Structure 1
Amino acid sequence: MSPIMVMLFGSISASSDLFAHLWATVLPEYIRNTLVLGFWVALLSFCFGVPAAALISQTNIVMGKQLRWLLMLPLAMPAYLVAYLYTDLFDYAGPVQRLLRTWFNWQSPNDYYFFDIRTIGGAAIVIALVMFPYVYMLTRTAFEQQDRNLLRASRLLGCTERQSFYQVALPLARPAIAVSLALVTMETLADFATVQYFAVNTLTTAIYDTWLGYSDFAAANALASVLMLFILFIVVAEQRARAGQLHQSSRPNTQHQRKQLSVVQQIIASIFCWFLVFAGFLLPIILLLTMAIDYADYNQLVALIATGKNSIEIATYSATIATLIALMLALFQRLHQSRGRMIPVQISGFGYAIPGTVLAMAMLATFGPLDHVINDVAKAFDFKAPGLILSGTVFAIVFAFVVRFSAIANGTINAGISQIPKSLDLAPSSLGVKTLPAIFRVHLPLLKSSILVAWLLVFVEAMKELPAVLLLRPFNFETLSTQIYQLISDERLEQGALGAILIVLFGLLPIIFLNRQKDSQ
């Protein structure tokens, strides 16, 4: 929290003239675009994720077992990659419009209408295609864990099957839907590369442009503070939406018969689900593989090894540290009896709500002055100045990643430790085993799967993260995400297709692991 407080106080020193100029010219448009984009992405994610979750969990849809995990695959695809690939596909010079002009003998754009993907609507569709799995996964889990006795009771009271779903099942899933939509909205507000490529000016692009374009760090801090207010509003609204809601029975009856779809319903349901899989993952990965085959060469492979090593190194450090911290906090919360044992976990979870751009600004606002103090102290004692050891090294990136992604590790570890019976906490002490040996002999072996999932999830998020790395990286330091971003900016993604495929493959690891773990249960 301290870097955020430093950033907020630093924003007070922002130039009133520049901020007034921004407010009088472009800032209202940036705020409006940010809110509109967040609304449309949340709405589209709801329209994609909730019906898909209902079809997979409630019906006998064909290939339901395969679609169950295929619908999670878009999570492995960074939104900025999909944005470039779809722009290249549907732009005026792209293959789709060229084919249409050939078929119908159209000569110019005046001869026909074709949608412009580089708009706020296009950005919303692209982001929703890779974000809806958050809504799908949480909502599907909520549907599957509902007490079927409640649905049977509604049927006995005269409700039809459709009415039972809309009046009982869907309201019971509302907390999961609210959490997932809040998560999707926060990720949308934090997006930088997609909106910049689509020329949609939002607060994240305003922060970046104000700092690097106007060279006004204080004004950029002020804009970051505005974005943080929007994030805080979303978090509070989501918590208030779930406040006071009653939970189901602690031992629900989850056994039920799936709704039998007719042939026409099967066709419609299958088209809908397979469209999401195809548009969100299969088509982009096919386009990337085609680019890699057509344009890959030895020089790309050499560059890929160097940047891939940097990405894996940073992601490994971040995942290991975040998982260890989450494990210690979860064990402290479980085994300690103090009233404040929940506070550390809650504080560490705030970081995920902070956009990468804002977090990078907070890191620079904190570590920059600290570096200067360290150098001044070194000079005062006639030592050689160490230079930028905090803000100008990989340390800042890893620190930002640990702050931002600790919530993911916390949630995974806490979910695992909640499945361990409380009696196992007391059994070792009754046999004379102290707390620390009991943790290594009892808790850690039982948490092995949760620890691995937490590590994989943080590792993948760190591999994909762009804004924080873009602002915090040292000179001449590239990762896969920054390299691909630079190539996309130069309209040369073909030269980075191998690196993009590598990011996607790493993103598939937790999905594959979770699916295999589910099948083995």
Structure 2
Amino acid sequence: MTTDTLRGRPWPRFRIERGGWLVAAVLIALVVLVPIAVLAAAALDADASHWAHLAAYVLPQAARNTLILLAGVGAIVTVAGTGTAWLVTAYDFPGRSTLAWALLLPLAMPTYIIAFAYLDMLHPIGPVQTAIRALLGFDSPREFRLPDLRSLPGAIFVLGVVLYPYVYLSTRAMFATQSESMIEAARTLGAHRLAVFWRVVLPLARPAIAVGLSLALLETLNDIGASEFLGVQTLTVSVYTTWVTRSDLAGASQIALSMLVLALGIIWLERHGRRRQRFAHGRRMRPITARRLTGAQAALAGVLCWLPVLLGFGAPALYLLAETYKRLHLVGGVSEQLLRGLGNTLLVASSATVVTLVCGLVVAWAARSLRESGGFNAGRACARAASIGYAVPGTVLAVGLLAPLAFIDRAASGIVGNHGALLMGSIGGLVVAYAIRFLAISIGSVEAGLARIPASLEQASRVLGETAGSTLRRVHLPLLRPALAASSLLVFVDAMKELPATLLLRPLNFETLATWLYAEASRGTYEEGAVAALAIVMAGLLPVVLLARTNLNMER
């Protein structure tokens, strides 16, 4: 055994293999960055007349609607998420323990599904308005009807009640780690409870609120189904209609580039808003003690917390169950086309999960194995570059992938003489898009799992002559099973729900549950679409329940 080995310096074989991991990580990062670069090049290389037309007729209205939508949804998710997180953390009232996890349930509802459900429930001749007219003594919608949900305010409401858990989740974790002593000190100085919340608690929670808000806004920017169902012309809808309806790739690229700039602006604002935040607390920090509420105060707190759960999950879920029962009872089963869509969904989602998990493991392991070299960590830079795909809306990513996939197909045809589509308009293209979109989830989960594994295990393996690959396989992978399982579950469910990229890149006559629901809602056949929507929601419930259990265990 050499002295260099005992000092923890890598053997030449270990160093060479570590370089191989870096090469693989660089290639994965380049695959993520290529569609973004192609998109920018296609948009900037287009004729100036395209920009003039977009600037005059498309971008003003679409950008205005998108900005208003982002502002409205941001206000709802901030108020609902922060308010419910504080009530559940700082106060004790009946149902509090159940609400701690129930407030996460809307995460299982994709935005296009909740829009689909509310469109039918709040229709002028739907169950809600019919019941209201019966109570008020009106006979027809001409005498009384609620404001039309197909509007910008309707889209703000629908997206807000389903996306507030992003703020609730991050803010609740921040509230749970705040010290009771700071609140007691403020109270000793004469501040009442409302002043303590505004001047002490809320400023300390700003980083968590900013993180949750940025995630909610990125999901809003990525949405296409809810916005189109509700008749709101956003930038995302404009990209889809420009490419699909007019076959104008240059125009779609220019709108998509505008969306990308907006998405990066949201991320920059989130990081800029908390750039100077610094926190410190003593080792014996005492968590916030929940204050017991009784009577009217307890009832009000319960209503304020249960209302978002009812609007964001309870009412749509009950609607889907009722409509699914009607469909199965009247027809006697599920249609063959829907079963085929379910099979396609499982095939694409499982394939994308495997690819995403392997790529995330490679990138995270490259960052881990190169960390000891000091200075610039190329592996960590690759991990950050590969994670940018999650911030890119699915429609933008799909448009950016069109040219690279077509180029690969032409190159493959020239080599093997096959003129069929290998990636463009194929399942392979969908898998690539899903992997790029959700790679950040895999990388983040694996990095978090690796951070819990002591470096001494890796050093011991090196001393015993193991390579980087064998160390990963024999030491780290068994310890990473929980992180890999959680990551695969999240990626699988997100892939099942993905709609924008699927609409643009799917093969001809290829339906997933998401596209099937989109088509049924567009035709107004809600009973058939409810079956697909319920299947997606049931699949999304599992990771939400696991997430809730994890948070509760961490708080204990």
Q: Alpha carbons of 1:241 and 1:520: their partners in 2 closer, same or farther (altered >3 Å)?
A: closer
Q: 1:178 corresponds to which letter in structure 2?
A: A
TM-fit CA distance, 1:276: 1.2
Q: 2:81 corresponds to which letter in structure 1?
A: G
Listed as ranges, the gaps of 5+ residues in structure 1 are: none
Residue in structure 2 matched with residue 316 of structure 1 by the alignment: 350
Q: Alpha carbons of 1:416 and 1:253: their partners in 2 closer, same or farther (altered >3 Å)?
A: farther
Q: Alpha carbons of 1:151 and 1:415: their partners in 2 closer, same or farther (altered >3 Å)?
A: farther
Q: Would you say the 8 A contact 2:108–2:537 is kept in 1?
A: yes
* 3-state SS, counterpart of residue 476 of structure 1: coil
TM-fit CA distance, 1:23: 2.5
Structure 2 CA distance for aligned equivalents of residues 220 and 154 of structure 1: 54
Structure 2 CA distance for aligned equivalents of residues 22 and 435 of structure 1: 52
TM-fit CA distance, 1:151: 3.4
Q: Alpha carbons of 1:421 and 1:264: their partners in 2 closer, same or farther (altered >3 Å)?
A: farther
Structure 1 CA distance for aligned equivalents of residues 131 and 477 of structure 2: 58
Structure 1 CA distance for aligned equivalents of residues 65 and 208 of structure 2: 27
Residue in structure 2 matched with residue 355 of structure 1 by the alignment: 393
Residue in structure 2 matched with residue 469 of structure 1 by the alignment: 502
The answer as to 2:95 corresponding to 1:63 is yes
TM-fit CA distance, 1:121: 0.7
The answer as to 2:404 corresponding to 1:404 is no
TM-fit CA distance, 1:235: 1.1
Alpha-carbon deviations, 1:106-155, whole Å to 9, x = none? 35555345222111111111111111111111111111122444434444
Q: Alpha carbons of 1:252 and 1:44: their partners in 2 closer, same or farther (altered >3 Å)?
A: farther
Q: Alpha carbons of 1:517 and 1:228: their partners in 2 closer, same or farther (altered >3 Å)?
A: closer
The answer as to 2:167 corresponding to 1:135 is yes
The answer as to 2:138 corresponding to 1:106 is yes
Counterparts of 1:253-268 in structure 2, within 5 Å, are 253-268=285-300
Aligned counterpart in structure 1 of residue 124 of structure 2, from 92, 106, 111: 92
Counterparts of 1:303-382 in structure 2, within 5 Å, are 303-336=337-370, 337-338=372-373, 339-340=376-377, 341-375=379-413, 377-378=414-415
Q: 1:353 corresponds to which letter in structure 2?
A: A
Alpha-carbon deviations, 1:469-514, whole Å to 9, x = none? 0110011211110011100100012113222111111101112223
Aligned counterpart in structure 2 of residue 74 of structure 1, from 78, 88, 106: 106
Q: Alpha carbons of 1:372 and 1:110: their partners in 2 closer, same or farther (altered >3 Å)?
A: same
Q: Alpha carbons of 1:59 and 1:264: their partners in 2 closer, same or farther (altered >3 Å)?
A: same
TM-fit CA distance, 1:399: 0.7
Aligned counterpart in structure 1 of residue 449 of structure 2, from 403, 416, 431: 416
Q: Would you say the 8 A contact 1:7–1:366 is kept in 2?
A: no
Alpha-carbon deviations, 1:67-100, whole Å to 9, x = none? 1111111111111121121121112121222233
The answer as to 2:527 corresponding to 1:489 is no
Counterparts of 1:238-253 in structure 2, within 5 Å, are 238-249=270-281, 251=283, 253=285
Structure 2 CA distance for aligned equivalents of residues 460 and 328 of structure 1: 22
Alpha-carbon deviations, 1:422-472, whole Å to 9, x = none? 454445556776654443454333332222111111111100000100110
The answer as to 2:245 corresponding to 1:207 is no
Counterparts of 1:498-517 in structure 2, within 5 Å, are 498-517=531-550
Structure 1 CA distance for aligned equivalents of residues 510 and 128 of structure 2: 37
State the TM-score, normalized to the length of structure 2.
Answer: 0.87
Counterparts of 1:144-163 in structure 2, within 5 Å, are 144-163=176-195
TM-fit CA distance, 1:301: 4.4
Q: Would you say the 8 A contact 2:345–2:512 is kept in 1?
A: yes
Structure 1 CA distance for aligned equivalents of residues 173 and 284 of structure 2: 13
Q: Would you say the 8 A contact 1:144–1:254 is kept in 2?
A: no
Q: 1:183 corresponds to which letter in structure 2?
A: L
Q: Would you say the 8 A contact 2:239–2:255 is kept in 1?
A: yes
TM-fit CA distance, 1:264: 1.7
* 3-state SS, counterpart of residue 202 of structure 2: helix
The answer as to 2:324 corresponding to 1:292 is yes
Residue in structure 2 matched with residue 272 of structure 1 by the alignment: 304
Q: Would you say the 8 A contact 1:357–1:468 is kept in 2?
A: yes
Structure 2 CA distance for aligned equivalents of residues 416 and 60 of structure 1: 34
TM-fit CA distance, 1:27: 2.5
* 3-state SS, counterpart of residue 111 of structure 1: coil
* 3-state SS, counterpart of residue 128 of structure 2: helix
TM-fit CA distance, 1:156: 4.5
TM-fit CA distance, 1:241: 0.8
Listed as ranges, the gaps of 5+ residues in structure 2 are: 1-32
Q: 1:484 corresponds to which letter in structure 2?
A: L
Farther off after superposition, 181-190 or 9-18: 9-18
Farther off after superposition, 416-425 or 202-211: 416-425
TM-fit CA distance, 1:384: 3.2
Calculate the aligned-residue CA RMSD, in Å. 2.3
TM-fit CA distance, 1:269: 1.0
Residue in structure 1 matched with residue 75 of structure 2 by the alignment: 43
TM-fit CA distance, 1:518: 4.9
TM-fit CA distance, 1:258: 1.1
Structure 1 CA distance for aligned equivalents of residues 41 and 409 of structure 2: 18
Q: 2:219 corresponds to which letter in structure 1?
A: E
* 3-state SS, counterpart of residue 300 of structure 1: coil
State the TM-score, normalized to the length of structure 1.
Answer: 0.93
TM-fit CA distance, 1:15: 4.2
TM-fit CA distance, 1:247: 2.7
Farther off after superposition, 320-329 or 511-520: 511-520
The answer as to 2:218 corresponding to 1:186 is yes
Q: Would you say the 8 A contact 1:147–1:248 is kept in 2?
A: no
* 3-state SS, counterpart of residue 359 of structure 1: helix
Q: Alpha carbons of 1:433 and 1:250: their partners in 2 closer, same or farther (altered >3 Å)?
A: farther
Q: Alpha carbons of 1:275 and 1:371: their partners in 2 closer, same or farther (altered >3 Å)?
A: same
Structure 2 CA distance for aligned equivalents of residues 514 and 96 of structure 1: 33
TM-fit CA distance, 1:158: 4.3
Q: Would you say the 8 A contact 2:239–2:252 is kept in 1?
A: yes
Residue in structure 2 matched with residue 223 of structure 1 by the alignment: 255
